[in-house]
């Protein structure tokens, strides 16, 4: 017994001395960073803006939500690189910065145009960094402007930005996915983009295309609708609402499509061809036409019209990406890499020049699973 | 030493022995025929009715048919069954006579006789059989053991009316001479364990045995373990279930608490309801108990480790509200937890000691002081109150009250470890605890069996309470080493 006690005391002592892992930090010694914004200021210097939680404001105990304090502060600091600016930030705060709860990384347009390549290192290398932050580009604006927005439902804008993506049917785009895209062989990353409205609100404004062959510079944007279609092709879209005019009258039908799926097929010929097959099924949420989805003939008409109109939109998107941006954001190269590794070896070196020449055939097949709660529009029943 | 033949000398001898014992009565009788008898008994311990009608009356009024006056023939007549008492015997040794008198028998001595006749008409006040207050069960027998050994063995014998149920008697304690009964079922209990217990009980050298805990402490293997190595119960059904599983029961006179050995870890987490309720519900309850037992020992230290060492592991929203609630608190989390744990244990202890009428007051004051005022005053942060009270309440889920002691006690070293090393420290503490548990083998039975060492057929009974039809496919536990 005595021996055991003495032995365990020695072990405990050794543990304290050798591991040196006394990293006890009370939560009230930490400044929780909820969102980070990266900008290039007027002088061309890197400016890091952090949104830091003020915990006392959200739960003051006595009066829920009514202490009148703002639930966050926004602090900015400039520096040569991210960490340098971070040190600058730290000097303004009485608590040490804590990165592990950072939920969003925002990148201002000016910085995105200059290229992100050199900035990513800190986010990978630093063990304190959180890989599950969603990363967004601020279109026509500065990241710090978004961080200063007074949030609507949540106490913090960062949670809102993640939920916004879910609300529009996207899978949230996290930093680790961005890394995977940036490090894979062919795919160019597209990041969700938001822009600040004059009313001090933000709006989801599509997707930003980065060119990883050129220091991850911003090449351009897709508008929200295009970004949804592009995400469908990459497989990051959960649901999609399609509105299309049907028949001669030009009245619209809206389909809320779930269970979106895609299928790619590549044929090596001259020029190489890519067949894109997109499938989706859903229910009609609005029908202003005279057609009755309960009837087979009308249903076929509706499905055909919806599919065709979406197909044209996708075709236009592919065209835009190929001709205007010349950036393979749709993951075609990666598909060939995985499915036809031997052919990819030949294509890989000049994929950038080849991608715009790729002959892409798009086929969209939308199915109506459920006509909704009534068959035809109320109009026709009157 | 044998007593003499002279009644005067004998009376002298016993009066000297019982000097200053006002409760010992000496009574001289002149029976029909003129001879004198001496009656010695403890006042209050004999049934006077039985004594008068069955012993005194025949002696005084009717006399004895022949050889009146010599106790030898008196004794012989008794042996022939002329006294209407349950037991009588003849003793010649003075020490034995003293012992017998003190145990509540009446001694009769006569002139010219070097022996005493001891008549059993013992009767003293006892408590009736009442409902068990410490081990409540929703279903099942309500009766619990009493202070009287014979009543207790009677209750057990009534449940198991089989000659295979053995009840070996022993006397322990130099002054108290407490009767102890070792009970087991022949064929089910492991012989070597029975022998071990028998010899350990005989080896006890104590002046007094006031409660079964004296026996427990004297025969247990490891004194320095926080875990109890014997089940203490006051329910006859638990004892008989234990005997059926090859355990051995030790009854002690004067206490309703019966020792059941050897105990395993899982016994501590079993309640009688497990076996009386429908098996689905019973199995669920069992798991709730397992989870809460773990919860009661780990929750405070995990809270400390997560908030102070690994805040990244807590969801952001939760972390922020914890931090927000902590803002006003002046103490580090570990001090807060220690304060509250201490307070909680104090309240619990106060609640037990106080008279029944004041008991509830403690909980009200405690709830007000700790739950409300301390938080409002900003001395303690609200999450701490939640953590400590949740852990405290979950320790009450453990059905055997004694078995919750180690869980409550080991919370404190774990708190220190987690305060020093975070989750790493908790892991260390848990490993140390399990090393101890695995090493613990009360009466040669591994404490954690059948989990470690694994006994494939039995382990399923730890996980679930099986319906009896399915459980019987498994041979009944035979021998305590597989308990």
Residue labelled with tokens 């919750």:
B404
Determine, for residues A55 and B327 on separate chains, whether the beta-carbon distance falls below 8 Å: yes
Look up residue A263 and give its two tokens. 């299928």
Print burial letters for B168-188: b (CB count within 10 Å at least 16), e (below 16): eeeebbeebebbbbbbbbeeb
CB pairs under 8 A between A and B: 83
Residue-level pLDDT at B75 = 61
Q: Name which of B308, B325, B428 is nearest A59 (Cβ-Cβ).
A: B325
Residue B157 · residue B251 · CB < 8 Å: no
Phi then psi for residue A155, to 5 deg, are -70, -15
Q: Name which of B321, B422, B424 is nearest A58 (Cβ-Cβ).
A: B321
Q: Which chain A residues are within 8 Å of B377, Cβ to Cβ?
A: none
Q: How far is A34 from chain B (nearest CA, A)?
A: 9
Instruction: Look at residue A334 and give its three-state secondary structure.
Output: helix
**Strand-pair category, B231-233 with A217-222:** unpaired
Q: Which chain A residues are within 8 Å of B380, Cβ to Cβ?
A: none
Q: Which residues of A touch B (CB under 8 A)?
A: 1, 8, 15-16, 19, 21-28, 30, 32, 34, 53, 55-62, 98, 100-101, 103, 130, 159
Q: Please state whether B34 falls in left (phi above 0), alpha (psi between -120 and 50) or beta.
A: left
Rounded-to-integer distance, Cα A240 and Cα A258, Å: 7
Rounded-to-integer distance, Cα A134 and Cα A159, Å: 10
Instruction: Return all residues near B464 (Cβ < 8 A) that are at least 6 apart.
Output: B279, B283, B286
Residue-level pLDDT at A376 = 61
Look up residue A74 and give its two tokens. 């926004």
Q: Which residue of A has its CA nearest to B313?
A: A100
Residue-level pLDDT at A70 = 79
Print burial letters for B116-138: b (CB count within 10 Å at least 16), e (below 16): bbbbbbbeeeeeebeebeebebe
Instruction: List the beta bridge partners of residue B37.
Output: B29, B110
Go through chain A and tell me how many residues it has: 382
Residue-level pLDDT at A20 = 53
Rounded-to-integer distance, Cα A364 and Cα A203, Å: 28
Q: Which chain A residues are within 8 Å of B322, Cβ to Cβ?
A: 27
Q: Which chain B residues are within 8 Å of A27, Cβ to Cβ?
A: 307-308, 311, 319, 322-323, 326, 333
Look up residue B285 and give its two tokens. 């309850």
Rounded-to-integer distance, Cα B255 and Cα B245, Å: 24
Handedness of CA A207, A213, A216, A217 (dihedral sign): negative
Determine, for residues A34 and B316 on separate chains, whether the beta-carbon distance falls below 8 Å: yes
Determine, for residues A27 and B323 on separate chains, whether the beta-carbon distance falls below 8 Å: yes
Quick count: other Cβ atoms within 10 Å of Cβ B414?
25
DSSP labels, A11-68: HHHHIIIII-------GGGEEEEEEEEEEE-TTS-EEEEEEEE-HHHH--SSSTT-S-
Residue A70 burial (C-beta neighbours within 10 Å; 0-12, 13-18, 19+)? exposed
Q: Name which of B332, B382, B432 is nearest A26 (Cβ-Cβ).
A: B332
Question: Which of A24, A34, A103, A155 best tests the B interface by mutation, with the highest count of B CBs <10 A?
Answer: A24
Q: How far is B323 from chain A (nearest CA, A)?
A: 6
Q: Name which of B316, B382, B420 is nearest A103 (Cβ-Cβ).
A: B316
Rounded-to-integer distance, Cα A54 and Cα A32, Å: 8
Instruction: List the beta bridge partners of residue A137.
Output: A107, A193
Handedness of CA A340, A345, A351, A356 (dihedral sign): negative
Rounded-to-integer distance, Cα B399 and Cα B156, Å: 22
Q: Which chain A residues are within 8 Å of B325, Cβ to Cβ?
A: 59, 61
Q: How far is B440 from chain A (nearest CA, A)?
A: 13
Rounded-to-integer distance, Cα A362 and Cα A356, Å: 15
Q: Name which of A15, A27, A60 is nearest B322 (Cβ-Cβ).
A: A27
Residue labelled with tokens 């798991």:
B287
Q: Please state whether A248 falls in left (phi above 0), alpha (psi between -120 and 50) or beta.
A: alpha
DSSP state of A219: E
Rounded-to-integer distance, Cα B376 and Cα A379, Å: 62
Q: Name which of A8, A21, A100 is nearest B311 (Cβ-Cβ).
A: A100
Look up residue A184 and give its two tokens. 């894979």
Determine, for residues B312 and A101 on separate chains, whether the beta-carbon distance falls below 8 Å: yes
Alpha carbon of residue A142 to chain centroid: 18
Residue labelled with tokens 């009644």:
B7
Q: Name which of A24, A27, A34 is nearest B326 (Cβ-Cβ).
A: A27
Question: Which of A8, A16, A59 best tests the B interface by mutation, with the highest count of B CBs <10 A?
Answer: A59
Determine, for residues A32 and B316 on separate chains, whether the beta-carbon distance falls below 8 Å: yes
Determine, for residues A55 and B323 on separate chains, whether the beta-carbon distance falls below 8 Å: yes
Q: Give 10-residue mean pLDDT values along chain A (382 residues).
A: 82 69 79 91 89 78 54 89 87 90 92 86 80 90 90 83 89 90 88 91 92 89 93 91 83 89 89 91 86 85 92 94 91 91 88 90 91 68 62
Residue-level pLDDT at B167 = 94
Residue labelled with tokens 């006394």:
A22
Cis amide leading into B130 (omega within 30): no
DSSP labels, B324-340: HHHTT--S-HHHHHHHH
Nearest residue to A208 (alpha-carbon basis) of A107, A71, A343:
A107
Half-sphere exposure of A253 (CA within 13 A, CB side): 33
For residues A16, A17, A18, A21, the Cα torsion angle rounded to the nearest 10 degrees is: 50
Nearest residue to B269 (alpha-carbon basis) of B291, B248, B247:
B291
Phi then psi for residue A119, to 5 deg, are -90, -20
Determine, for residues A61 and B325 on separate chains, whether the beta-carbon distance falls below 8 Å: yes
- Strands of the sheet containing B231-233, edge to edge, are B165-172, B178-185, B248-252, B258-261, B231-233
Cis amide leading into B483 (omega within 30): no
Residue A56 · residue A93 · CB < 8 Å: no
Determine, for residues A57 and B419 on separate chains, whether the beta-carbon distance falls below 8 Å: no
**Strand-pair category, A240-246 with A251-267:** antiparallel
DSSP labels, B436-481: HHHH--GGG--TTTTTTTT-HHHHHHHH----HHHHTTSPPP-SGG
Q: Which chain B residues are within 8 Å of A59, Cβ to Cβ?
A: 320-321, 324-325
Question: Which of B319, B320, B379 best tests the A interface by mutation, with the highest count of A CBs <10 A?
Answer: B320
Residue-level pLDDT at B78 = 62
Q: Name which of B324, B376, B422 is nearest A58 (Cβ-Cβ).
A: B324
Which contacts of B135-139 are long-range, i.e. CB under 8 A and separated by 24 or more positions? Answer: B135/B233, B135/B234, B135/B235, B135/B238, B135/B272, B135/B399, B135/B400, B135/B401, B137/B235, B137/B271, B137/B272, B137/B273, B137/B276, B138/B273, B138/B276, B138/B277, B139/B272, B139/B273, B139/B276, B139/B277
Q: Which residue of A has its CA nearest to B382?
A: A61
Residue B217 · residue B223 · CB < 8 Å: yes
Determine, for residues A24 and B308 on separate chains, whether the beta-carbon distance falls below 8 Å: yes
DSSP state of B129: P
Determine, for residues A56 and B324 on separate chains, whether the beta-carbon distance falls below 8 Å: yes
Residue A146 · residue A106 · CB < 8 Å: yes
Query: Has the ipTM of the complex gone over 0.95?
Result: no
Determine, for residues B376 and A62 on separate chains, whether the beta-carbon distance falls below 8 Å: yes
Instruction: Return all residues near A252 (Cβ < 8 A) that are at least 6 apart.
Output: A243, A244, A245, A246, A286, A288, A289
Residue A34 · residue A103 · CB < 8 Å: yes
Q: Which residue of B has its CA nearest to A63?
A: B376
Residue labelled with tokens 């003793």:
B91
Q: Name which of A30, A34, A59 is nearest B321 (Cβ-Cβ).
A: A59
Instruction: List the beta bridge partners of residue A208.
Output: A191, A221
Instruction: List the beta bridge partners of residue A105.
Output: A36, A135
Instruction: List the beta bridge partners of residue B27.
Output: B39
Print burial letters for B254-282: b (CB count within 10 Å at least 16), e (below 16): bbbbbbbbbbbbbbbbbbbbbbebebeeb
Residue-level pLDDT at B69 = 52
Rounded-to-integer distance, Cα A59 and Cα B318, Å: 11
Residue A227 · residue A261 · CB < 8 Å: no
Nearest residue to B348 (alpha-carbon basis) of B289, B391, B399:
B391
Rounded-to-integer distance, Cα A360 and Cα A271, Å: 10
Q: Which chain B residues are within 8 Å of A159, Cβ to Cβ?
A: 316-317
Beta strands in B61-211 (DSSP E): 88-91, 106-110, 116-119, 165-172, 178-185
Determine, for residues A26 and B326 on separate chains, whether the beta-carbon distance falls below 8 Å: yes
Q: Which chain B residues are within 8 Å of A24, Cβ to Cβ?
A: 308-309, 419, 422
Q: Which chain A residues are within 8 Å of B375, Cβ to Cβ?
A: 61
Q: Which residue of A has its CA nearest to B336?
A: A26
This prediction's pTM: 0.83
Determine, for residues A26 and B320 on separate chains, whether the beta-carbon distance falls below 8 Å: no
Q: How far is B223 from chain A (nearest CA, A)?
A: 11
Q: Give 10-residue mean pLDDT values along chain B (483 residues).
A: 81 90 87 78 87 79 56 61 72 87 86 80 84 84 90 93 93 91 92 92 92 92 90 92 91 93 90 87 93 94 93 88 86 91 87 82 80 84 90 90 91 92 90 92 88 84 83 46 38
Could you tell me the CA-to-CA distances from B190 to A122, B186, B241, B267, B445 in Å, in that order? 67, 8, 16, 18, 11
Alpha carbon of residue A334 to chain centroid: 19
């Amino acid at each position: 017994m005595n021996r055991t006690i003495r032995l365990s005391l020695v072990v405990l002592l050794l543990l304290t001395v050798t591991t040196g892992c006394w990293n006890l930090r009370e939560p009230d010694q930490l400044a929780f960073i909820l969102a980070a914004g990266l900008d290039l200021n007027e002088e061309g210097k890197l400016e890091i803006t952090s949104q830091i939680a003020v915990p006392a404001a959200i739960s003051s105990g006595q009066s829920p939500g009514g202490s009148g304090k703002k639930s966050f502060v926004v602090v900015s600091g400039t520096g040569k690189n991210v960490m340098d600016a971070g040190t600058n930030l730290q000097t303004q705060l009485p608590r040490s910065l804590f990165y592990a709860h950072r939920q969003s990384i925002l990148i201002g347009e000016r910085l995105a145009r200059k290229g992100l390549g050199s900035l990513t290192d800190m986010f990978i290398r630093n063990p304190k960094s959180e890989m599950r932050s969603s990363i967004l580009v601020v279109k026509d604006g500065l990241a710090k402007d978004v961080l200063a927005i007074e949030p609507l439902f949540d106490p913090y804008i960062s949670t809102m930005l993640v939920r916004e993506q879910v609300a529009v049917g996207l899978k949230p785009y996290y930093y680790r996915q961005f890394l995977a895209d940036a490090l894979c062989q062919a795919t160019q990353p597209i990041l969700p983009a938001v822009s600040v409205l004059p009313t001090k609100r933000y709006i989801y404004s599509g997707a930003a295309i980065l060119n990883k062959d050129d220091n991850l510079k911003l090449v351009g944007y897709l508008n929200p609708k295009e970004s949804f279609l592009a995400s469908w092709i990459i497989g990051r879209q959960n649901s999609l609402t399609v509105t299309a005019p049907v028949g001669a009258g030009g009245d619209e039908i809206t389909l809320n499509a779930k269970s979106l799926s895609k299928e790619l097929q590549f044929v090596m010929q001259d020029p190489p061809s890519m067949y894109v097959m997109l499938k989706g099924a859903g229910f009609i949420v609005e029908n202003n036409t005279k057609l009755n989805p309960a009837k087979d003939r009308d249903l076929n008409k509706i499905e055909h019209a919806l599919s065709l109109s979406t197909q044209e939109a996708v075709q236009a998107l592919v065209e835009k990406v190929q001709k205007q941006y010349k950036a393979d954001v749709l993951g075609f190269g990666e598909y060939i890499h995985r499915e036809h590794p031997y052919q990819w070896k030949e294509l890989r070196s000049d994929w950038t020049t080849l991608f715009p020449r790729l002959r892409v055939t798009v086929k969209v097949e939308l199915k109506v699973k459920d006509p909704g709660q009534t068959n035809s529009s109320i109009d026709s029943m009157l | 030493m044998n007593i003499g033949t002279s009644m005067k000398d004998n009376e002298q001898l016993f009066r000297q022995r019982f000097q200053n014992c006002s409760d010992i009565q000496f009574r001289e009788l002149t029976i029909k025929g003129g001879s004198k008898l001496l009656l010695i008994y403890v006042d209050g311990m004999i049934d006077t009715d039985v004594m008068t009608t069955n012993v005194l009356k025949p002696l005084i009024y009717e006399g004895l048919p022949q050889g009146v006056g010599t106790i030898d023939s008196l004794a012989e007549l008794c042996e022939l069954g002329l006294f209407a008492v349950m037991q009588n015997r003849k003793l010649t040794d003075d020490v034995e006579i003293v012992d017998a008198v003190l145990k509540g028998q009446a001694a009769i001595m006569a002139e010219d006789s070097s022996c005493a006749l001891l008549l059993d008409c013992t009767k003293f006040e006892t408590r009736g059989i009442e409902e068990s207050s410490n081990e409540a069960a929703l279903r099942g027998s309500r009766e619990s053991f009493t202070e009287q050994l014979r009543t207790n063995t009677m209750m057990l014998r009534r449940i198991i009316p089989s000659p295979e149920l053995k009840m070996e008697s022993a006397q322990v304690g130099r002054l108290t001479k407490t009767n102890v009964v070792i009970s087991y079922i022949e064929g089910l209990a492991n012989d070597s364990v029975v022998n071990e217990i028998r010899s350990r009980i005989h080896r006890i050298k104590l002046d007094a045995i006031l409660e079964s805990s004296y026996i427990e402490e004297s025969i247990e293997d490891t004194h320095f373990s926080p875990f109890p190595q014997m089940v203490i119960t006051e329910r006859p059904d638990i004892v008989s279930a234990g005997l059926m599983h090859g355990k051995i029961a030790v009854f002690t006179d004067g206490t309703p608490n019966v020792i059941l050995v050897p105990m395993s870890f899982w016994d501590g987490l079993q309640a009688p309801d497990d076996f009386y309720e429908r098996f689905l519900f019973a199995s669920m309850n069992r798991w709730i108990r397992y989870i809460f037992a773990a919860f009661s020992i780990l929750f405070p230290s995990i809270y400390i480790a997560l908030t102070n060492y690994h805040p990244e592991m807590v969801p952001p929203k939760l972390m922020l509200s914890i931090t927000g609630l902590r803002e006003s608190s002046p103490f580090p989390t570990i001090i807060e937890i220690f304060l509250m744990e201490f307070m909680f244990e104090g309240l619990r202890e106060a609640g037990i000691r106080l008279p029944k009428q004041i008991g509830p007051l403690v909980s009200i004051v405690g709830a007000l002081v700790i739950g409300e005022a301390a938080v409002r005053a900003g001395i303690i942060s609200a999450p701490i109150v939640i953590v400590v009270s949740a852990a405290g309440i979950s320790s009450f889920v453990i059905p055997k009250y004694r078995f919750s002691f180690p869980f409550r006690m080991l919370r404190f070293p774990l708190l220190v470890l987690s305060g020093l090393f975070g989750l790493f420290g908790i892991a260390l503490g848990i490993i140390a605890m399990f090393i101890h548990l695995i090493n613990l083998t009360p009466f040669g039975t591994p404490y954690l069996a059948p989990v470690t060492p694994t006994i494939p057929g039995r382990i399923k009974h730890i996980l679930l309470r099986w319906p009896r039809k399915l459980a019987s496919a498994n041979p009944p536990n035979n021998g305590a080493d597989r308990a």
